[in-house]
A and B are shown apart, each in its own frame.
Chain A
Amino acid sequence: MPSLDLLLRPPVPQVQEIVFRNFYTAFLSVRVQRPGPGGSRRWVTCLRNLCLMPCPHTEEGSQDYFCLHRHQMLCDVDQVTAMRFILRQPSPVWLHFTIEDLQIFPPGQKSPQKDFPSWLSQLTPPEQPASLHGELPDPEKVSTEVQQMWVLTEVIRARQAAARIGRFDVSPTTLLMGTPTLPH
């Protein structure tokens, strides 16, 4: 059963994420070496038989990217001095199997994320409309609500639109002059 050993010097205080690209590994187990009681170091299993390829004789998941988070691990991954990745591939049809592009991210350094618009994290929950009871509504409250909507509109307007404008496109055929040839 092949395994990949990683020695981490200096020890990683806290592992946040492990990112890798699969190459025909069906099941992955991860063990970490941590300081134990009394100053010794012991190996602990933090991931047991994670299924990367649901059907090991076929291609599903064989070359996909995977990301393991802290909260998916069976134990705490603090003060890690070494990591062992145990790879299993029960199907005999594959010539090689391994994992590639392995990256380990301590906290503060999240794996590269797509850029979220900031307002996505500030979506407000549905509000209850205030009852009037015959009084005028509080002007402060009204102005903040209207302002919120206005800010939302402004932010959306400022964003780069991915949609095509259509009729302002320049037709590329106007760029071809003479007899262009295609590269062989």
Chain B
Amino acid sequence: MLDPDRGLSLTIARVVQRLQGSSLHSQLERQARVSLHKPEIRLESLKEDIKDFLKTSGWEKKLQNAVYSELNVFPSPCHPAAPPEHIKEPLAYMRKAQGSWEKRILKSLNSMCTELNIPLAQKRPANEQKELLSKWNEMGTDEPDLSLFRPVYAPKDFLEVLMNLRNPNYENGEQPSFRNHLGLIQVPLKVKDIPELKEDFSELSLNIGQLGIDDSAQVPPEFFENEHVRVGQKVLAEQDSAAAQQYVRQGCPTALRADLWALILNISNQPEDILYYEQLKSNVIQHDLLVDSLIYKDVKLTASNDDYYFVFEDYLYQVLLCFSRDTSVLEHFTYSSATPPKSYIQGKLGMEEYAVFYPPNGVIPFHGFSMYVAPLCFLYHEPSKLYQIFREMYVRFFFRLHSISSHPSGIVSLCLLFETLLQTHLPQLFYHLREIGAQPLRISFKWMVRAFSGYLATDQLLLLWDRILGYNSLEILAVLAAAVFAFRAVNLMEVTSLAAAEAVLADLSTLKVMPLLQIFLFATVT
């Protein structure tokens, strides 16, 4: 808990330190210097005139967007006495659980490595480099032998770990009591209830127009759609991140979505960004990592088999192979509860000077990881822009879905929120499913871990991800999961086994996301 004035100064100092030396900073300096030649800049009011010039030429807006982006991504400063691990994750037992989970993953990776006798990384021979470069745009045609590789872990392994998460200071008696939760998650995190969610998601309410509902064929476009598109074009013309974030809460028109998302994530695809992507590409060409085979395997198992995403297979390789070599992703570990794995050069185990992070970006892909990228391929066709958007989405949102933390958007909180919502508003259904051995979280966990990618139709998925960006939170995933159960409640009450319950909920591709969310939040009798 920090004094508000001191908190504000710390935040300002942190934002300034992060923006100093960035390309935006040098561009602003250059613009200010260039403006000195203009007649409207007078010497006696130099500071004010330059500030006005930067305002009218749109540079102040760019700076505002950069500051807004920093505030959105980084958590508010804790007390200065708090050590760095407290900023990553305040609860000691969660840090410990994340540490043991990471050790398990590394053990699995290590044993696969020794079993198959494949090095973690090696330099590609020159002819192989040439071959890969020529085939860069069609890596999907490659058919390497991946039969011996297996994914390091799958979402259901992760669910087992979360189910066993316990606070040692909490009375976890075996006897059923008010202390024990009826669901699978047993940690007492604070989650929102429906009145609080109604307030947070107020733009989704029944009296406000939504794309996904009010743009259907039966509704004349003059009522909502035309005006909404006009406002969207205006927001894009103004180039204002904060306004864009507010706008997308009501949904993005398809034609404007790519630009609006780039504006919210503050991605401008400058020449230096393209150059950075090219550098990552050359890293892929020169060195072969074991993680590459895991990525190939994952893409072949998931995205290539999906009716909507198989066409983007080549894009997925181009993005994910570069992603594993991108060391700028390491920055997100300051606010993530996870820690990147370290590897030591052979023979120098334990010596810090010979330690490197492996993979270079610190993220080991799991089964289904490529599904985070696949929906974005519908929006962006230029590999470097697609790459930057995915990277930004990962370090803002997706990393929370596969690490153990107490953050309100972390997967543990989402699971607890889902179970609590279901228990409170559909108690009969919850009780019935529990009695037949079909705990609801066992079915909905995989939806939430993948942010519903691969389960919903793509247009519906993009409408859902609009709201994730708009509200800067993943809680909507838990609300949607509960809403899906509410929608299929009648069928679920008749099933008598977990397999039958899975079958009822196997196909979500016909669901319309926004009506479900609206009904669950605003039209259910509480």
| Chain A residues within CB distance 8 Å of chain B | 19, 21, 23-24, 55, 57-67, 69, 92-96, 101, 103, 111-114, 116-117, 120, 126-127, 129-130, 132, 137, 141-142, 145-146, 148-149, 153, 156, 159, 161-167, 169, 171-184
Q: Which residues of A contact B150 (CB under 8 A)?
A: none
Residue pair B327, A169 in contact (C-beta under 8 Å): yes
B297 within 8 A of A: no
> What mask results when residues 321 to 340 of chain B are scored 1 for a CB within 8 Å of chain A, else 0?
00001011000000000000
Closest chain A residue, CB of each to CB of B114? A181
Residue pair B46, A178 in contact (C-beta under 8 Å): no
Q: Which residues of A contact B107 (CB under 8 A)?
A: 184
Q: Which residues of A contact B120 (CB under 8 A)?
A: 176, 179-182
Q: Which residues of B contact A145 (CB under 8 A)?
A: 44, 46-47
B188 within 8 A of A: yes
Residue pair A181, B92 in contact (C-beta under 8 Å): no
Instruction: For chain B, residues 1 to 17, give those with C-beta under 8 angstroms from any C-beta of chain A.
Output: 1-3, 6, 9-10, 12-13, 16-17
The stretch that binds A, out of B18-26, B125-133, B223-231, B252-260, is: B18-26
User: Roughly how many angstroms separate A177 CA and B356 CA in the complex, as a whole number?
Assistant: 11
Q: Which residues of B contact A127 (CB under 8 A)?
A: 45, 47-48
B201 within 8 A of A: no
Q: Which residues of A contact B3 (CB under 8 A)?
A: 67, 69
Residue pair A167, B272 in contact (C-beta under 8 Å): yes
Residue pair A67, B1 in contact (C-beta under 8 Å): yes
A-B contact count (CB 8 A): 201
User: Roughly how many angstroms separate A59 CA and B93 CA in the complex, as a whole number?
Assistant: 12
Which listed residue, B90, B119, B356, touches A172 by the CB 8 Å rule?
B356
Residue pair B190, A60 in contact (C-beta under 8 Å): yes
Residue pair B9, A177 in contact (C-beta under 8 Å): no
User: Roughly how many angstroms separate A116 CA and B103 CA in the complex, as a whole number?
Assistant: 38
With both chains docked as a complex, state the minimum distance between the C-beta of A157 and any C-beta of chain B, in angstroms: 9
With both chains docked as a complex, state the minimum distance between the C-beta of A167 and any C-beta of chain B, in angstroms: 6
Residue pair B46, A95 in contact (C-beta under 8 Å): no
Residue pair A111, B46 in contact (C-beta under 8 Å): no
Which listed residue, A101, A166, A174, A182, touches B110 by the CB 8 Å rule?
A182
Which listed residue, A23, A111, A177, touches B346 by the CB 8 Å rule?
A177
B13, B77, B79: residue with the most chain A Cβ atoms closer than 10 Å: B79
B148 within 8 A of A: no
Closest chain B residue, CB of each to CB of A117? B13
User: Roughly how many angstroms separate A137 CA and B275 CA in the complex, as a whole number?
Assistant: 48
Main secondary structure of the interface of A (DSSP, over half): loop
Which listed residue, A55, A165, A175, touches B356 by the CB 8 Å rule?
A175
Residue pair B91, A59 in contact (C-beta under 8 Å): yes
B208 within 8 A of A: no
Residue pair B20, A159 in contact (C-beta under 8 Å): yes
Which listed residue, A19, A96, A126, touches B81 by the CB 8 Å rule?
A19
Residue pair A171, B325 in contact (C-beta under 8 Å): yes
A67-B45 contact given A173-B121, A182-B120, A182-B358, CB 8 Å threshold: no
With both chains docked as a complex, state the minimum distance between the C-beta of B137 and any C-beta of chain A, in angstroms: 22
Residue pair B360, A173 in contact (C-beta under 8 Å): yes
Q: Which residues of A contact B143 (CB under 8 A)?
A: none
> What mask results when residues 33 to 51 of chain B are scored 1 for a CB within 8 Å of chain A, else 0?
0000000001111111000
Q: Which residues of B contact A117 (CB under 8 A)?
A: 13, 16
With both chains docked as a complex, state the minimum distance between the C-beta of B6 and any C-beta of chain A, in angstroms: 8
User: Roughly how many angstroms separate A114 CA and B382 CA in the complex, as a whole number?
Assistant: 42
Residue pair A164, B328 in contact (C-beta under 8 Å): yes
With both chains docked as a complex, state the minimum distance between the C-beta of B17 and any C-beta of chain A, in angstroms: 5
Q: Which residues of A contact B170 (CB under 8 A)?
A: 93-95
Residue pair A62, B345 in contact (C-beta under 8 Å): no
Can you list 5 contacts pairing A with B, beta carbon distance less than 8 Å?
Answer: A64-B78, A95-B171, A156-B20, A163-B19, A166-B275
B436 within 8 A of A: no
A111-B80 contact given A58-B190, A95-B169, A181-B349, CB 8 Å threshold: yes
Residue pair A184, B47 in contact (C-beta under 8 Å): no
Closest chain B residue, CB of each to CB of A159? B20
Residue pair B86, A65 in contact (C-beta under 8 Å): yes
> What mask results when residues 266 to 307 of chain B are scored 1 for a CB within 8 Å of chain A, else 0?
000000100110010001001101000000000000000000
B109 within 8 A of A: yes
Q: Which residues of B contact A172 (CB under 8 A)?
A: 327, 356-357, 360
Q: Which residues of B contact A156 (CB under 8 A)?
A: 20
Residue pair B43, A59 in contact (C-beta under 8 Å): no
Residue pair A183, B342 in contact (C-beta under 8 Å): yes
User: Roughly how many angstroms separate A7 CA and B3 CA in the complex, as a whole number?
Assistant: 27
Residue pair A67, B79 in contact (C-beta under 8 Å): yes
If A67-B3, A173-B121, A182-B343 are given as contacts, then 8 extra A-B residue pairs at C-beta distance below 8 Å, sorted by A number, are A60-B190, A94-B170, A156-B20, A159-B20, A161-B22, A163-B19, A167-B272, A175-B354
Q: Which residues of A contact B78 (CB under 8 A)?
A: 64-65
* Nearest 7 A/B pairs, CB to CB: A161-B21, A129-B45, A163-B22, A58-B190, A65-B79, A178-B346, A179-B119
B406 within 8 A of A: yes
Residue pair B22, A182 in contact (C-beta under 8 Å): no
Closest chain A residue, CB of each to CB of B89? A63
Residue pair B327, A19 in contact (C-beta under 8 Å): no
B506 within 8 A of A: no
Residue pair B349, A146 in contact (C-beta under 8 Å): no
